[in-house]
Structure 1
């Protein structure tokens, strides 16, 4: 039987099951209450979606789906009993809850702390760790902090989700030889259904055991497996299927831009220009979007969080971008906004942010 380890106290799974914890902090109390329900065999849980592509909604997720997801991830990484894992994601959301479930299903020692930008800087954590899930922001902060970096190197398996990892981050992870994986999934599949190694040259997703994939007539991915309760779930993700268990992600159908008959995949383009955006504007949020245009139907624009710097020349910037993207994909305009809108899970809310412009 495993344990939950907090900064001041540790609890066995049996203690959590029997409600024997002293935490009064609201965050820890809700996390441990969820764990208590799980350990008592509760069969269904209401989970909120992130709202990154539309309005957030609450869905009912069955126990067998979450159990199947944890089992498949454990099999993929060959996680053994009594492993050590870190839960540093928001446990109000599915990603954090699934880390708790994995810990309980794997009989692991689970280090539990509040989600923050640099979780590995906590000096009470014990390393090495067998399995950790983080968002790109947390991984980048760990790389930037020499103390956290030494701990990052002691993580056997690291999965990164919540948002795509940029090329700069991927390059750093390769250089450091961190065994890291980008995740692909959604709330309806209770976390990821596929993983892509960031140590390889191409970002190719490989499905977890038991997952079946395919595409519709518009190249949008569908998935089916035990973590979807064996239901065939149609996604809005445009992919290129490589074989029965592997695919490349191109972007969200919601955001595909048709500019003069040329299809532009914003997420793919954002990845390509990340280095140049960093060079010109520093570490800031940005995204590509399609705005209505009388001649082209839609025009490609770049939206950047921040204030336009003195001396910024659009033409010079666009010339620099041509090294990385097709000229037909170049932004026709660049917009600067002081502050983006974000979802509850910390993702850029493109639909709400773009309303500040149109």
Structure 2
């Protein structure tokens, strides 16, 4: 088991090294209200107990608190550092909330890799005030920067985007940026991402590549299974349907719990959404409605005002065409920004 204690002696924040933790951090930052989650996590990470407690996002069910071993956090940080070639004293930009795993792991990577952490109050549009070697953001944050000051992203050398799927707009807009941009795949139970997919540059790919020391497989449902890792967690079976290239690479297709079984034909909503995204301006998602004859049929919920113009579904095959179109003013989202399909459908289908 990895000795996590050796990584919790000091932390570098905005060029200054802080020892005597957590006292010096509390003295410096405790009165800054928006930093409370970050300071609380630093206190938790340097405490004698060998685990932390963290909340899941709630995107696939009711949010819950789980315990993660600190050795798992350290192993995850080392894996990321090796994959992205992050070096001691390089700068890291934290603009994510410190009460969820993504924000916590930016702090852990700072401890473990010896990075220099710069933090900013979390918001929907981060202000990139200087050059950074490494940063992590949500798709919403990246999209808002692209729409207001696209060139600012070039001040970040390596950027990982996580928390939700990267949409077509982001994918298209980042192609001419110098920043090395990755989409992440992971979950709270694995201490954030276990795989990254390059989104731009000559080495961009349709496949996620798992981090070093991690091996994957699939079960009978074609869902991703974490077979082997150095994360000190038991084998994890996910509900993510994937196309497996080998034990290191996979393409994400959708969620097994979203599948629509229409007269024996299994329809993956996320594949329909991928086809429709270039043609629908507003946010939307596909879901199942009950049907006496077929059991289930696809339907669509679109964010925004109801329109008399019926969306063009001609690009879809006959099994994929939504049989009903619903509108909602705002899709319901989790605290971490993911669309909450279950609650949104519950608002529409009473």
Runs of at least 5 residues in structure 1 that lack an aligned partner in the other structure: 279-283
Could you say which residue in structure 1 is the equivalent of 2:278? 275
The CA distance in 2 between the partners of 1:17 and 1:224, in whole Å, is: 37
Query: Alpha-carbon deviation of 1:11?
Result: 5.0
1:126 equivalent in structure 2: 130
Aligned pairs (5 A) from 1:100-119: 100-119=107-126
Following the alignment from structure 1 to structure 2, what is the Cα–Cα distance between the partners of residues 41 and 246?
A: 37
Cα distance in 2 for partners of 1:30, 1:168 equals 32
1:322 aligns with 2:314: yes
In the other structure, the counterpart of 2:90 is 83
For 2:262 and 2:107, locate their aligned partners in 1 and report how far apart those are by CA, in whole Å: 44
Structure 1: how far apart are the matches of 2:329 and 2:112?
44
Structure 2 CA distance for partners of 1:224 and 1:64, relative to 1, 3 Å: farther
Which of 15, 37, 44 is 2:44 aligned to? Answer: 37
CA distance 1:224–1:102, change in 2 (3 Å): farther
CA contact (8 A) 1:70 1:102 kept: yes
Residue 290 of structure 1, CA deviation: 0.9
Q: 1:46 is matched with which residue?
A: 53
**SS state of the match for residue 184, structure 1?**
strand
Equivalent residue number for residue 326 of structure 2: 335
**Quick one: which of 9, 12, 17 aligns to 1:12?**
17
Contact 1:11 1:21 in 2 (8 A): no
Deviations 1:326-353 (A, max 9, x none): 3321211110012332212121111111
Matched, 1:58 2:58: no
Q: Please show how residues 83-232 of structure 1 align to structure 2 within 5 Å.
A: 83-119=90-126, 121=127, 125-127=129-131, 129-146=132-149, 149-199=150-200, 202-226=205-229, 228-232=231-235
Q: Using the alignment, how far apart are the partners of 2:204 and 2:13 within structure 1? A: 37
Deviation at 1:265, TM superposition (A): 1.3
Post-superposition Cα deviations, 1:239-292, rounded to whole Å, max 9, x if no partner, equal 1111110011110001011223322211222222112111xxxxx431110111
The equivalent of 1:281 in structure 2 is none
- Rounded to whole Å, the distance in 2 between the matches of 1:352 and 1:288 is 14
**Which of 174-183 and 80-89 deviates more?**
174-183
Coordinate RMSD, CA, aligned = 1.9
2: distance between equivalents of 1:22 and 1:65?
Answer: 27
Structure 2 unaligned spans of 5+: 1-9
Counterpart CA distance in 1 for 2:284 and 2:100 is 24
Higher mean C-alpha deviation, range 79-88 or range 297-306:
297-306
Deviations 1:102-157 (A, max 9, x none): 111111111111211111x25xx321x111111111111111112xx222012111
Whole-angstrom distance in 2 between the partners of 1:293 and 1:15 = 63
Residue 176 of structure 1, CA deviation: 2.8
Aligned residue pairs total: 336
